[in-house]
Chain A
Amino acid sequence: MSATTEHRHPGDPGAGTVTARTADGAATLATRPTVSDTVSQTLALAWRALKKMQRNFEQMFDVTIQPILFTAMFAGIFGGAISGSVEEYLPLIITGLIGQTVLTACVATGVQIREDMDKGVFDRFKSLPIARIAPLAGPMLADMLRYLIASLLTFATGIALGYRPGGGVLGVLGAIALAVLTGWSMAWIFAWFGTVGRSAQGVQGISLMILFPLTFLSNAFVQPATMPGWLEAFAKVNPVSLVITAIRDLANDGAVTANVAWALLGCAVVVAVFAPLAVRSYGRRM
């Protein structure tokens, strides 16, 4: 590399340029993408993910038809048995279902990432001078729309069935925001599964195996006090319960409680642990 010069910018230790001897003379090129490149590449790939959603509507069933169906079914089936009447059960089940639906939607995020990596276009992404994180961050960003749709539809179905959230409009909006944020944070766990899994089916299998006990052994559908002692103990420390309690506090009471703070902290911890794991194992394939 005799004729190649390299100089680094003082403020940004990683960035620099290299001169290549192309036919047109010397081209000076950046050694890594800038932050603003990374953002616009992530947005472009989020656009791609949105197009994909729009064209494969069956991939949206889990955040459209499913929450409507589940809400109506759960309220009707368990309402009388658990809370005496459907109306009394609604504040419990609607908020619980939001947690459950958003978490299930996260699994799809991980599975899709895995599927993407098996497709031909992934080779193109690898060969382009783009930030290695962008093809992961793009779909993660776009999927926030899925969590939003799921939360909105669950609330709407509940309201149609007679649910009157005590927290008012602001409380509901806060609950939805928390649900979407939780979805995005938890999705990093499944994204990580996606990057280490061997196949999309495998990723789906493992994710659901972990998710089912977490959602059902929580306070999503019943009060833990009605469970046997050991289950109650688990349901109380289950992080899913924590998030659902926070959503309830916001939607039903309009209160920004300590539970909300704990849920936010929990999300931060999940992101802090799993985002680097996902990014690293993704980077290895990129």
Chain B
Amino acid sequence: MEETRVCPCKAMGESRREFCAAIAALGLGAAAVVPGAVAAFSGGFDPIMRGSAAGETPEFNLGALSSLPEDGTPVKKAIIADKQDGWTKYSNVPVGAVWLRREGDKVSAFNVLCPHNGCFIAFDPDGKQFKCPCHNAFFQLDGKQNGSSISPRDMDSLDVEVRDGNVFVKFQNFKFGCEEKIAQA
């Protein structure tokens, strides 16, 4: 006793009157949904719409030059700044870190974040090289890649300046996983 089914399109109604009622129902229904949808949409996509404040690359004083070993052994230093964590604001906490290397009076600085995927690069004192523990990328002390590695580029060097015996570093993060060094917005 198969029943002949109504063609789904016919559900809109057969007469003009029925059709108008159906359209009105759809329209009203949609209108009723809009405010909630707008609020949900904007709330949900808030993290994207929140543009990050771009500006001058901030400079940080990382302490006295004399505190760095002269033999070129890298030293990890924290970048201390204010941090927003959700709705909490922390002042003067580590927001990043750099490897500093001093040879004589020359200082070089590298972001500790691995260009591959942003793990923290460690220093391996035995092998006298940098090593990223996540996918075993190796870098020489001057930040160049050591042999073939999964990292698409060398370690990210940062601008350093020594003024009045103090080391100043312009700190920024770069995009991961690409060959060119592109600053993160």
- B partners with A: no
Chain B residues with CB under 8 Å of chain A are none
Chain A residues with CB under 8 Å of chain B are none
